[in-house]
Amino acid sequence: MTHLVVIPCYNPKGALAATVKAALAQWKSVWVVDDGGTDGSTQEVERMVHSEPGLRVLRRPINGGKGAAVLSAALVARAEGFTHILVLDADGQHPADRIPEFMRCSQEAPSSLVAGVPVFGREAPKLRLYGRKLSIAMVWFELGGSVLRDPLFGFRVYPVKPLIAAMDATCWARRYDFDPEVAVRMAWAGTPVVNVPAECRYFKREQGGISHFHYLRDNLRMVALHVRLVTGLILRKLKLHR
């Protein structure tokens, strides 16, 4: 009753129900956060609630982004006595069968962020893989090393209190900037990181793959993220040398 699976979603269509069923096969407590969705994707999940006592659907009235959805769940989870949340993407990219292993790692190191390190298959687009390398290099610079092996892979177990504290420290980290920014801020605050390899699947559109990533808008958001973090790093260094 300390660890919870959270599945944030926004119009995931048919992928959601299968992801929820896969998660429930591995863990009893699973919450879905509908982040202002409009496609009715949660209807099947809401019907499952009647037969699955550990399943819950939380609704946000407007779309705020992955980080906002995770924060909403974390606040409710803290109020109900949960200490850790495992975040699982709704589209099936994350390996639900690894949930017990990640939860076990978290239970063995409860103060730590358990961060997945993606193992990609041959289907992963080369352009996406090359693009990740720049973000990884920037985060390693911001952290002064490779304590966090991959800042973009969202399959993680967060200790709830440090997560909420990191989110409270910034008005950002609510959309595609959530995964890297919250991890950097938690590490800056002293949260240890345990890196665990995990498979990551890419689905083509004809296979049901869905992405709400807007190339120009969200890449600009990522540039702004690293400007913020590098600025924060400089300010931290100046403060330490006073």
Predicted confidence (pLDDT) per residue in 3-61, tens digit: 999 999 999 878 899 999 999 999 999 999 999 999 898 999 999 999 999 999 999 99
Confidence band of 127 (pLDDT split at 50, 70, 90): confident
pLDDT greater at residue 128 or residue 165: 165
Residue 208 in this model has a pLDDT that exceeds 80: no
Q: Which helix (H) or strand (E) holds 131?
A: helix 126-143
Mean pLDDT is highest, among 41-55, 116-130, 212-226, for 41-55
Residues 6+ apart with CB under 8 A from 19: 7, 12, 88, 89, 90, 91, 92, 96
Q: What is the mean pLDDT of residues 160-166?
A: 98
Mean pLDDT of all residues in the chain?
91
Contact present, 204 and 124 (Cβ < 8 Å)? no
DSSP 58: E
Residue 117 is predicted with a pLDDT of: 97
- Give the amino acid at 184: V
Residue 213 is predicted with a pLDDT of: 56
Q: Which long-range contacts (CB under 8 A, 24 or more apart) does 217-222 make?
A: 218/175, 218/176, 221/175, 221/176, 221/177, 222/135, 222/176, 222/177, 222/180
Number of domains in the chain: 1
Q: Pairing relation of β-strands 30-35 and 3-9?
A: parallel
The closest alpha carbon to 105, from 6, 1, 4, 196, belongs to: 196
pLDDT tens-digit readout, 171-205:
999 998 999 999 999 999 999 999 999 999 876 55
The domain of 134 spans 3-240
Confidence band of 123 (pLDDT split at 50, 70, 90): confident
| CATH number of 140's domain | 3.90.550.10
Residue 240 in this model has a pLDDT that exceeds 90: no
Residue 59 is predicted with a pLDDT of: 96
